[in-house]
Amino acid sequence: MKVGFWDAPEGAEQPVSVFPIGEESLNASKGSLTAAGALAKLATLDSVELAERCPNAVALLSKIAQAIAGQKADAPTQLFRLANLNELESKLIADVLGEGEVGGVVALPDGSLAQIQESVLAGIWRVRLETDAASEYLELGAIPEIVKRAAADLTSADFEIGPVPEGAMNVLPVLAEIRERALAWRPGMRSQIINFTLLPMSPVDMSFLQDTIRNGPIQLVSRGYGTCRVLSTGIRNVWSVQFFNAMDTIILDTLEVGGVPTVALAADEDFEDSAERLQEIIEAYFK
């Protein structure tokens, strides 16, 4: 079997273990709540009673619907705090938003983790800081800002290429190419992809490659059509992007030089669709 950029040792877990944010935050096996599931739960509740008992939640959803209608992928993100919600309102927000395709964790400088989870309404993210239960908020944007900050501040701009080990084949020119592209990349430039699925790289090559550019602070999983795992490396602007089949076997193994890979980002059309769907939910269940 061809060795991927990141392969777990035999019997170990895969590199990314992403737990959903919510009541089952420590049990990912329960799965995420789909849009249909969220609406089904809302349909069992009385809308008048909900609006009366959850005024802050209804007001928050209305603000989010208005804000996301004007959101753009390249615009600054917008934050909405959840601290003023009571228990019922918090559950209502969780039911409406559910859990979407993209989730992940970000390692912070103090050693703690930030959890992020996209809702079923693409472009609306839930962010929780591990060190402070009150530091939980919603964020509208292509990706939470904490991901971009970690990618910029907790990685190295350059790296040294040490002596190549015996048995290496093509790792030296690959590393030179990665270094050149990473140093040259600027926001707005097109990302460049190195495809290891097609490139003749030996296990020695891949091991030396990983040891040189190291793992970074960000781990994301997208479960749209199949599973895609996105890991930042220790080098700024360099990401491991791996696609897996249903048997959890790597079918496409790449390094991507650029900003946060597009597979994890919400696009302009996502914001438009989410604004329309959220407004429909508000009209149907809270008016």
**What is the set of domains in the chain, with CATH numbers?**
33-142+267-286 (3.30.1370.140), 152-264 (3.30.1370.140)
pLDDT recorded at residue 40: 57
pLDDT at 156: 96
Asked whether the whole model's pTM tops 0.75, one would answer yes
| pLDDT for 3 | 46
pLDDT at 249: 84
On the question of pLDDT at 184 being above 80, the answer is yes
262-287 burial, b if ≥16 CB within 10 A, otherwise e? ebbbbeeebbebbbebbbebbeebbe
Q: How many CB atoms lie within 10 A of CB 65?
A: 21
Q: Is the dihedral of CA 132, 59, 140, 19 positive or negative?
A: positive
What is the mean pLDDT of the segment spanning 212-238? Answer: 92
Using CA of residue 286, residue 143, residue 267, residue 261, what is the dihedral sign?
Answer: negative
